[in-house]
Structure 1
Amino acid sequence: MNEPAPDADANRAISLTLRVGELMLASGEGTENVTNAMRAVARAYGVRRIEVDVNLSALTLSNVPDDGSPPVTAERRVRRREPDFAHLVELHDLVAEITARELAPTEARRRLRRIDRPAPVHPPWMAATAPALVAASAAVLTGGGPVVTLAAFVATLLGDRAGTWLARRGVAEFFRTAVASAVGTATAVLMIWQPVPVQASAIVVGAVIALLPGRSLVACVQDGIAGEYVTATARLAEVVFVVTAVLSGIGFVLTFAVRADVPITVQNAPTAPLSLAAPQLLGALMLGLTFALALRVPPRLIPPAAVGGLVIWSVYVGLRWLGWPAVLATAVAAAAIGLLGSVYADRVRVPPMVFVIPAIGPLLPGSALFRGMLKLNLGDVTGGTHYLIEALSAALAIGAGVILGMNVLRALGGRGPGRRTRRS
């Protein structure tokens, strides 16, 4: 597979390489890892004089042969992007086999077609309820109790189903996300209006955490640190639009609630207690588990991802008990899970994000976002801006901390982010 490829073979190798890159990017992989994987596949099949350009919506590969043959430039668009970590694990396995010279091109193409049409890793009902399970887990973490946990589950499920219904009719994702967050907020407002003697606002916190783009956030920071500024900027824009949609849904409902004199105050907005009591430990564990389900992590890899949620929460709470500021504690806890997740991923030969992304769930700033919008709707612009900046700081601390932890492993000689996956 190392000999220079004739034109036809080179073109087939280029086509295969672009398809591998497209599927990896669509499944949630970072730009640097996609670029490295594409270079490795092309070189394994004898296409060595290549340039690879990866951005959020297109991949370009140029081949300039040494023998005077005409240069070839090919591009592939990424039309669907949805995190699918089961897909990603299979793609990394495929790249590892190709780079180890264990797979002929025809067999690689056959495997790629099979990966592109995989059997579901979880039952359909589980995939449909995963966002609602995330919201319920977040409600447990914030101390919402059984009634609020059930309400968060139902509200998020209804919002998700409404979003699916709108998607079938071609409605843009921005408005679908706004509707989903509005449903959760409306449920909380109705429970406060009745009034039901529970922490109803935990419903909103759960719904917000279920909607926040944790993977896109980490990938944005990862691409920026790797010097992929164009893609990092595009991912940042994506994160901003998603968060804006979430805030729009919350703000729309809160505006009507305040004007209708619903007795909603900032005191109604709970934060997760800085506790290692059973409800918080269970909530953190369940957040890791349910995020893993939502991201389609293969079943055998779900338990470590769930434990990661427990670990990141325990580290964060321990640091806060020691008097560390919230942002710094968030960054260090995220770095710890980035390092531990990468070490484990290096041992089992899968992408680190499979463990790291589900684990960051307990630290996502759902409560700060809700408090910020509530303050703004109550006329406290300064207070609302403060909470929104706090949420932004926490989000950036998570992304930077995760990448720092993963790069520590790289510095110590492990695989780390951006290194080629190879079989041992």
Structure 2
Amino acid sequence: MSDKRGRPPSGEDRMLSRMRDWRARHERELTPDGFDDEDERPLPDARAIDLVLRVGELMLASGEGTEAVSEAMLSLSVAFNLPRSEVSVTFTTITLSTHPGGDQPPITGERVVRRRSLDYFRVGELHTLVQQAALGLLELEDAAARLEQVRRAKMPYPNWVIVVGFGLIASSAGVMMGGGPIVATVAFLAAVLGDRTSVFLARRGVAEFYQMTAAAMVAATIGVGLLWVSSEMDLGLQAGAIITGNIMALLPGRPLVASLQDGISGSYVSAAARLLETFFILGAIVSGVGAIAYTAVRLGVSIDLDNLPSAGTSMEVPVLLGAAGIAIAFAISLAVPTRMLPTIGLLGVMIWVIYAGMGSLLQVPPVVGTVTGAVAVGVVGHWLARRTRRPVLPYLVPSIAPLLPGSLLYRGLIEFTQGTAVSGLLSLVEAVMVGLALGAGVNLGGELVRAFQRGGLAGAGMRSRPAARRTRGGY
């Protein structure tokens, strides 16, 4: 089979053709006339059902979004001939139901995600497995063996590099805020100590909320300590950048992007759960930093609101290097493959240049500059993901890190502790608005790419999203 110009269809076209044929047949079979009592089919292969469920479970546990997991599972259902398949993916549960037809009852399997470990390297390998299976390049036994290899595969970095990457987020943020080498070094140590504290608590079964609170308290204590030393010895250090950098390292960029992505795609249950997770993490950070800041003010540590650390809209070389460093360090902490790091660093610089340029040249509010930069990163990130056949979240989540509202949260907490509750509340609300603007912006960029470019990682074409056809999409 070839196209109008006589060329054989590409792998993407073959995958899209299989998905279109399956969806047309699927929709026809779900009508009352589609269920023919005499249409007896062999029972679905239990191994295929198990494979689809295990792939979906591992993708969701490794940090992939709900819509991408659903599309991947549907693609595998088509590849391994599971008839009349329905997939349901929520924040913690994955369900697959397939109906053989005739008098045969439906067969339903379910798996529950009890443990999450963000690993975008594993997400990328799973997407490759799904694409190869969708193109008919993997038989069922080969796909099962490949899944086991992916499950047992080691991350591209040893554990100590992941820890260092987490510390470098805070260190790079300190550089962006004008902290200098001493502040950057202390910020790095504070982030590492906070992370090790949360790991210590996690191994003893302490809830994640209190892990995050403890990590924020450790970092804030070190920052306040250096601030006190600097004021007593008149060192002139921007010690507040330590706290700001650690807030940025702890902020939930991944669940924020995923929650808005799920909501826009119609997965409202998962979107609500992820958004609630985001606000719980924010609550933990606010509780930890706020308690230390309140204690510091009561003990007489001088915190001047006029000199709180902020990069403003500067585009000096240290600030741009800090933006690239934050994005790359964030990517390392999420186990993004090394070959993607230079691109992510450039995207981090790009979002900052757009934000700072609009703020300094056009004098627009920070939220407007944030949305504009996020949309640009969303377009470029989704285009790169489709062009390189990789998942999109490894491009998006680290790239928005330079604009995470760490300084706004810190300012709001200090204003609260100094008795200006109204100003503090406004700063916290602005921080939440900036965070939501980041998530919405990168997803809008993805929708623009989807609208004008067909194809996708798991065979999802621009007309194949079920939620888009609930109302006007069918006309």
Does the 8 Å CA contact 2:228/2:302 hold for their aligned counterparts?
yes
Of 376, 380, 385, which aligns to 1:340?
Answer: 380
Is the CA contact 2:41–2:102 (under 8 Å) kept in the aligned structure 1?
no
Distance of 1:326 and 1:151 partners within structure 2: 29
In 1, Cα distance between the equivalents of 2:98 and 2:200?
Answer: 44
- How far does the alpha carbon of each residue in 1:335-380 deviate from its partner, in whole angstroms, 9 at most, with x for none? 0001011112222110121111111010000011111111111121
Aligned 8 A contact 1:336 1:402 in 2: yes
Equivalent residue number for residue 41 of structure 1: 76
CA distance in 2, matches of 1:412, 1:419: 15
Distance 1:203 1:416, change over 3 A: farther
189-198 or 221-230: bigger deviation = 189-198
- Between the two proteins, the alignment pairs up a number of residues equal to 419
For 1:265 and 1:183, locate their aligned partners in 2 and report how far apart those are by CA, in whole Å: 21
1:62 equivalenced with 2:97 (yes/no): yes
Letter matched to residue 396 of structure 1: L
Question: 2 CA distance for matches of 1:224 and 1:257?
Answer: 40
> How far, CA to CA, are the matches of 1:281 and 1:257 in structure 2?
32
Q: What TM-score, normalized to structure 1?
A: 0.95
Question: In structure 2, what is the Cα distance between the partners aligned to 1:219 and 1:82?
Answer: 15
Q: Is the 8 A contact 1:35 1:53 kept in 2?
A: yes
Q: CA deviation at 1:109?
A: 0.7
1:223 aligns with 2:262: yes
Letter aligned with residue 264 of structure 1: I
2:85 and 2:97 in contact (8 A); partners too: yes
2:350 aligned partner? 311
Equivalent in the alignment of 1:169: 204
Measure, in 2, the Cα distance between the counterparts of 1:84 and 1:149.
Answer: 27
Q: Describe the SS at the equivalent of 1:264.
A: coil
Distance 1:96 1:418 in 2: 6
1-structure distance, mates of 2:457, 2:399: 17
Give the SS at the match of 1:62. Answer: strand
Q: Look up the match of 2:85.
A: 50
Cα distance, 1:419 vs structure 2: 5.3
CA distance, structure 2, for counterparts of residue 399 and residue 82 of structure 1: 21
Which residue of structure 1 lines up, in the alignment, with residue 170 of structure 2? 135
Contact 2:372–2:441 (Cα < 8 Å) also in 1:
yes
Flag the 1:182–1:72 CA change in 2: closer, same or farther, 3 A. Answer: same
CA distance in 2, matches of 1:317, 1:184: 28
Q: Give the direction of change, closer, same or farther, for the CA distance of 1:178–1:5 in structure 2 (3 Å limit).
A: farther
2:431 to 391, 396, 417: 391
Corresponding letter in the other structure for 2:357: G
Residues 96 and 249 of structure 1: is their aligned pair in 2 closer, same or farther, counting only changes over 3 Å? Answer: same
* Alignment of structure 1 residues 18-417 onto 2, 5 Å: 18-194=53-229, 195=231, 196-321=235-360, 322-415=362-455
Distance (whole Å) between structure 2 residues aligned to residue 174 and residue 6 of structure 1: 49
Say if 1:17 and 1:41, in contact at 8 Å, map to a contact too. yes
Distance 1:185 1:227 in 2: 39
d(CA) in 2 for partners of 1:96, 1:116:
17
Q: What CA distance in whole angstroms lies between the structure 2 residues aligned with 1:416 and 1:373?
A: 43
The CA RMSD over aligned residues, in Å, is: 1.7
Aligned 8 A contact 2:386 2:457 in 1: no
Q: Alpha-carbon deviation of 1:140?
A: 0.9
Deviates most, 271-280 or 390-399: 271-280
Structure 2 unaligned spans of 5+: 1-17, 23-39, 462-475
Does residue 52 of structure 2 align to residue 17 of structure 1? yes
| Secondary structure class of the residue paired with 1:52 | strand
For residue 73 of structure 1, give the secondary structure of its aligned residue in structure 2.
strand
What is the TM-score normalised by the length of structure 2? 0.85
Q: Indicate the structure (1 or 2) with the bigger Cα radius of gyration.
A: 2
The structure-2 alpha-carbon separation of the partners of 1:419 and 1:358, relative to structure 1 and needing over 3 Å to count, comes to farther
Does the Cα contact within 8 Å between 1:33 and 1:420 map onto a contact in 2?
no
Q: What SS class does the counterpart of residue 247 from structure 1 fall into?
A: helix
Q: State how far apart, in whole Å, the 1-side matches of 2:41 and 2:126 are.
A: 23
Q: How far 1:416 moved relative to its partner?
A: 6.1
* Aligned partners of 1:409 and 1:415 also within 8 Å: no
Q: Is the deviation greater in 102-111 or in 347-356?
A: 347-356
Aligned mates of 2:226, 2:51 — CA distance in 1? 54
For 1:351 and 1:326, how far apart are their aligned partners in 2?
29
State the shift of 1:418 in Å.
Answer: 7.8
Q: Structure 1 residue 6: deviation in Å?
A: 3.6
Secondary structure of the residue that 1:17 maps to in structure 2? helix
235-244 or 118-127, larger mean C-alpha shift: 118-127
Mapped contact 2:75–2:459 kept (Cα < 8 A): no
Unaligned runs of at least 5 residues, structure 1: none
The SS at the match of 1:114 is helix
Quick check: 1:320–1:326 contact (8 Å CA) kept in 2? yes
* Kept after mapping to 2: 8 A contact 1:182/1:250: yes
Letter in 2 for 1:197: G
| Residue identity opposite 1:330 in structure 2 | T
- Please state how far the C-alpha of 1:110 moved relative to its aligned partner: 0.7
Deviation of the 1:420 alpha carbon: 3.9
- Return the letter of the residue paired with 1:125: W
